Structure 1
Amino acid sequence: MLQALMNLLSLCWKPPEGGDIGGGGDFAKDGLLWSRDIGRCASGEFSMAVVQANQVLEDQSQIESGTFGTFVGVYDGHGGPEAARFVCDHLFRHFQAISAEDLGVVTAETIERAFLETERGFTYHVSQLWNTRPNLATVGSCCLVGVICQQTLFVANLGDSRVVLGKKVGNTGGVAAIQLSTEHNANIEEVRHELKELHPNDPQIVVLKYGVWRVKGIIQVSRSIGDVYMKHAQFNREPINVKFRLSEPMDMPILSATPSIISHPLQPNDSFLIFASDGLWEHLSNEKAVDIVQSNPHAGSAKRLVKAALQEAARKREMRYSDLRKIDKKRHRARSSTLPPKRFGTPVIAKPNHQIRASSNFLRFPKIILPPRVVPDCIAREQHQQQIRPAALVMTLEFILPKEA
């Protein structure tokens, strides 16, 4: 009986069978951008944009919704795509199962357990393939998750991705940008202090190399899924690349997979959220990104965010946005006609068209997962020569809450 109840509760995080996948499903192409300006679902609207970038897509994202709420994940991979793909395939499943065990109640502990189960699963995956694919030990992923349930937003983060809330300011028409997530990057002084406290006998726990602080001189983030070579001594040895091997014994994990988690009761003046990997915030401030979403029509919001990041990246490299589009024409000639695009940034804007109440269904549209894409080597080489890197993997979620009585 209990198992049957758990199965029923688990289904409440799934979209309804035959749910509307939304209008406007075809992607439009505009230079570097592939976009879907607007799509419709049972509870609102969303949009997304994709820009071709790296040879192998290391990042993943997903939206999952059902009767109980909405789950948003942004997974910024590094060292390869495997960890981000693993997280995309397993994290929500663990969250779904654990919340069902708790009779549908979502807490910070629910989310943390899902993260740690995913970490254990990936570590086991690496151990099983150690003899044939030892490089998996050096692959990892930042992980940013938002869960909206019962008018409460939970944000969980590993690494240096970020979620920013756009909050309406009184009756002024303005919107304030409020960062909700905690980042784990060695370039942040508080993170370096935390690492030094955890490893007081290691003077090389953080090292400044070429103006960038790195954990053990290797990696910038201090928390992630994967990167097991920095967590378990049995994986920090041959045959992994020598640049990942530590010169001294590892007596405790250096990186952590325990997320920072906050809860935020949603208020009537909370307007929208922007979830993004560090690349977007490298090119756009919190305030600028919020202003772009707030100051423009709903349709095409995702595309505008990505274009703004592209334009800023081009400006920093003393290029014009039109130069980026010229590069894209060369890519098109090199790419197979059946090869889908990769992303520079992938915003998804969801805009509910009804008020969200504790008893209502939240966003209910079929799961959206951005799959990996591969482009020819010649494209990757040309991009490297032009010093173009992906700006971000981005999602923005816009909601309407009931007004105060």
Structure 2
Amino acid sequence: MEDTHFIIPHFCNEKDIHLFGIMDGHRGAAAAEFSAGALPGFLQNLVSVNSPSQALLEAFVKTDVAFRNELNSRRKSKGDIQKDSHPGCTAVTALIVKSKLFVANAGDCRTIICRAGNPYALSRDHVASCLDERERVIAAGGHVEWKVDTWRIGPAALQVTRSIGDDDLKPFVTAEPEITETSLSAEDEYIVMASDGLWDVVSNTDVVNIIKDTVKEPGMCSKRLSTEAAERGSKDNITVIVVFLRPVSTAERIY
């Protein structure tokens, strides 16, 4: 299992602030495990003195720098990280501040919101098959080539163009997330966050239709979605967080 997550209601001991996140590791679980522990701490220190969007941006970058420094320290001390090991992870977080929802994403985890019964994407997948991401990587000095039916980056043949870790592919595989800000309204029912193990085989519309036919309890919905992905042949780790927005604190993950 290379996925990790966090669910932190009443973040910073504030009743109207809630934080959720999923990290999907690759080339090992080290980056995902480190990020799940470190990112909320960085964000807690930043959110009181910055706007939520700026705090999220800086928290992602600080987590990336801290993890790569940790890797270097362990390499120098001849720890359990080999010199040719370059673990990384994609990450998506959702920060709810009163009636505002901030989603920060780096990689191919995804968050959608169900509004008046329809799905709306709150993040986009950062993969080399996206032209603008591919051009950004090339402009930053990265090498992209077509391998195994898709565009991939560097000798590691990585598909994602943004991640925490992957120190052999910095700076062109950046840890800087894209951030969306949404004003929540009475039409907003729930958000679904998941690693690509779900999204590879279940569309945004399918997710809403599945939840429509499921008991409106976050654990039941999460499990139903992960089971559906497995039945459709997903070979990747599957982590799903469903957050019902009335009340916001009802959330659960299943993987």
TM-score (ref. length: structure 2): 0.87
Alignment match, 1:183: 125
Q: Distance in 1 between matches of 2:202 and 2:169?
A: 31
Q: 1:348 to 1:155 in 2, by over 3 A?
A: closer
Query: Quick one: which amino acid aligns to residue 215 of structure 2?
Result: P
1:207 to 133, 142, 145: 145
Are positions 1:260 and 2:178 aligned together?
A: yes
Contact 2:23–2:91 (CA<8 Å) still a contact in 1? yes
1:225 to 157, 164, 168: 164
Render the CA deviation track for 1:112-138: whole Å, top value 9, x for unaligned: 111111111111101101132235751
Deviation at 1:106, TM superposition (A): 4.0
Q: 1:157 to 1:351 in 2, by over 3 A?
A: closer
Query: Quick one: which amino acid aligns to residue 242 of structure 2?
Result: I
Contact 1:137–1:228 (CA<8 Å) still a contact in 2? no
Q: 1:364 to 1:349 in 2, by over 3 A?
A: closer
Report 1 or 2 for greater relative contact order, CA contacts < 8 Å, sequence distance ≥ 6.
1
2:134 to 171, 192, 213: 192
1:148 to 92, 96, 120: 96
Q: Secondary structure at the match of 2:161?
A: coil
Contact 1:126–1:136 (CA<8 Å) still a contact in 2? no
Q: Secondary structure at the match of 1:283?
A: coil
Query: CA RMSD for the aligned pairs?
Result: 2.4
Deviation at 1:302, TM superposition (A): 1.6
Q: Report % sequence identity.
A: 27
Contact 2:3–2:29 (CA<8 Å) still a contact in 1? yes
Alignment match, 1:98: 46
Q: Distance in 2 between matches of 1:176 and 1:60?
A: 28
Render the CA deviation track for 1:121-171: whole Å, top value 9, x for unaligned: 111101101132235751000010000002100010111111111110xxx
Deviation at 1:95, TM superposition (A): 0.3
Q: Secondary structure at the match of 1:143?
A: strand
Deviation at 1:273, TM superposition (A): 0.7
Q: Distance in 1 between matches of 2:17 and 2:160?
A: 30
Deviation at 1:345, TM superposition (A): 2.9
Q: Distance in 2 between matches of 1:348 and 1:162?
A: 11
Contact 1:158–1:184 (CA<8 Å) still a contact in 2? yes
Alignment match, 2:249: 363
Q: Secondary structure at the match of 1:88?
A: helix
Contact 1:142–1:158 (CA<8 Å) still a contact in 2? yes
Query: Quick one: which amino acid aligns to residue 192 of structure 1?
Result: R
1:301 to 221, 229, 250: 221
Larger radius of gyration: 1
- Where in structure 1 do 4 or more consecutive aligned residues deviate above 4 Å? none
Deviation at 1:89, TM superposition (A): 0.7
Contact 2:112–2:191 (CA<8 Å) still a contact in 1? yes
Render the CA deviation track for 1:301-334: whole Å, top value 9, x for unaligned: 12211121122117xx9xxxxxxxxxxxxxxxxx
- Ranges in structure 2 where 5+ consecutive residues have no aligned partner: none
Q: Distance in 2 between matches of 1:116 and 1:350?
A: 26
1:270 to 176, 188, 208: 188
TM-score (ref. length: structure 1): 0.56
Q: Distance in 2 between matches of 1:225 and 1:137?
A: 14
2:113 to 128, 149, 165: 165
Q: Secondary structure at the match of 2:111?
A: strand
1:123 to 36, 54, 68: 68
Alignment match, 1:345: 238
Query: Quick one: which amino acid aligns to residue 186 of structure 1?
Result: A
- Ranges in structure 1 where 5+ consecutive residues have no aligned partner: 1-56, 169-174, 232-252, 318-342, 355-361, 371-392, 395-405
